[in-house]
Amino acid sequence: MDYGKYKYEQSVRQREARKKQTRTVIKEVKFRPKIDSHDYDVKKRRVEEFLGEGDKVKVTMMFRGREVTHPEIGERILRRLAGEVEELGTLEQSPRLEGRNMTMQLAPLRRQRQDAEAAPEASGAVSEE
């Protein structure tokens, strides 16, 4: 076999392997304990977008001043968020206090499941009305 042909085939195989590889991207969304309901909804929508794109999301609850004396308020907000986005992602790391910040990590649901759900819509299946 020709060495040049061998090198070419090897580089093609490596290129194909890189295409199938996925990179783990972690996006971060920051909250405060005294967050208003509209601000919460906007940030929740952002978390849903990140999970929908297949990215992991790190949710940070930032405490300032004496807010850190009531971490249960922050944990309640983070757990509420995790419950509301559970159809898009799973809780990978539960809320835990690290200094003045409480962090939680969400991972998207598996890609194959999302692609399988989108396939019937794309195939042109007609529903009876």
Tell me the per-residue pLDDT of 31-61, one tens digit each, with 9 for 90 and over.
Answer: 999 999 999 999 999 999 999 988 999 999 9
Assign residue 37 the CATH number of its domain: 3.30.110.10
Q: Let me know if residue 89 belongs to a domain.
A: yes
The distance between the two most distant Cα atoms of the chain, rounded to a whole number of Å, is 73
Q: Taking a C-beta distance cutoff of 8 angstroms, is the pair 82, 106 a contact?
A: yes
Domain holding 53, by residue range, is 23-108
Q: Let me know if residue 100 belongs to a domain.
A: yes
Average pLDDT over residues 91-119: 79
| Domains held by the chain: number | 1
Q: Let me know if residue 17 belongs to a domain.
A: no
* Number of CB atoms found within 10 A of residue 108's CB: 20
Q: Let me know if residue 101 belongs to a domain.
A: yes
- Among left, alpha and beta (phi > 0; psi -120 to 50; other), residue 51 is alpha
User: What is the Cα gyration radius of the chain?
Assistant: 21
Q: Let me know if residue 125 belongs to a domain.
A: no
Of 92, 106, 90, the residue nearest 31 (C-alpha): 106
pLDDT score for 73:
94
Q: Let me know if residue 42 belongs to a domain.
A: yes
What is the helix (H) or strand (E) element at residue 41, kind and residue range?
helix 37-52
Does the pLDDT value for residue 116 go beyond 70? no
